[in-house]
Homo-oligomer: A and B are copies of this chain.
Amino acid sequence: MATRTRGRPRSFDRETALEQATRAFWEHGYEATSIADLTAAMGIGAPSLYAAFGDKRTLFEEVVAYYIEHYGSFIRRAMAEEPTARSGVHRVLREAAVEYARADLPTGCLVVSAVTNYQESAHEVAEGLRAVRHGNVRAVEARVAADVAAGVLPASVDAGALARYTGAVIQGMSQQARDGASSAELAAVAELAMGAWPAELTGPA
């Protein structure tokens, strides 16, 4: 590995540049972040950007993957490590309250807010993020349905509605963060939101 290639070596670290691009898109969204904004944030010229990342849309898709991997991983981890849908979602909301209002990073969630308004040319980019959000809701729905089937949650629970409610709360927390809400305020929202969740059946001892 790391075989030296021929030709002039790249003068910047690709992953560092990707990280800077992620923060730019995260803060201002897809359309409002221009190539000039990106080259300034990444510290490289436009031709270098296009050579290393392709066009703006391709770069953004890579940014989304990078964001999910590096900044959205707490969701996957919480759902994987917690035993039930309820405890998993509870932890996701608690951690989102912290992550969405960190002082050293852009606020809110890139997947939620980066492509809310767009022109026709960005339609497919918007659909991509929509698909990610939809997939997250469906994943929660599957976890809820599994708990219902296992008798952990009452049979009266509507898994789809509960999952969509959870998605709406996360999107709302993201926008509250972008509107300036603190981590403490978001944590209070998260705890309140869990009040809508049905209690788990402790089982027949």
* Interface size of A as a range: 35 or more
Identify the stretch in A26-34, A63-71, A81-89 within 8 Å (CB) of chain B at 4 or more residues. Answer: A26-34
A28 touches B119 (CB 8 A): yes
Asked if A62 is at the interface of the complex by the 8 Å CB criterion, the answer is no
Stretch of A11-19, A40-48, A148-156, A185-193 with 4 or more beta carbons under 8 angstroms from chain B: A185-193
Q: Please state if A32 and B29 are interface contacts (CB–CB under 8 Å).
A: no
Interface of A is mostly: helix
Q: Is the CB of B179 within 8 A of A133?
A: yes
Q: Note all chain B residues with C-beta closer than 8 A to A189.
A: 161, 164-165, 168
Kindly supply a per-residue 1/0 record for chain A positions 64-103, scoring 1 wherever the CB is within 8 Å of any chain B CB and 0 otherwise: 0000000000000000000000000000000000000000
- Within 8 Å CB of A113, what residues of B? 116-117
Given contacts A188-B158, A196-B196, contact A28 B164 (CB under 8 A): no
Give the copy number: 2
- Set B119, B170, B180, B192: member contacting A172, Cβ < 8 A: B170
Contacts of A172 in B (CB 8 A): 167-172, 175
Q: With A161-B192, A189-B161 known to touch, is A32 a contact of B119 (CB < 8 Å)?
A: yes
A39 in the interface (beta carbon within 8 A): no
User: Contact partner of A117 among B117, B170, B176, CB < 8 A?
Assistant: B117
B171 near A185: Cβ-Cβ < 8 Å: no
Closest B residue, CB atoms, query A197: B195
Q: Which residues of A contact B (CB under 8 A)?
A: 28-32, 34, 112-119, 130, 133-134, 158, 160-162, 164-165, 167-173, 175-176, 178-181, 185, 188-189, 192-197
New A-B contacts (8) at CB < 8 Å, excluding given A134-B179, A164-B185: A28-B118, A31-B117, A112-B175, A114-B117, A116-B178, A161-B189, A164-B188, A195-B195
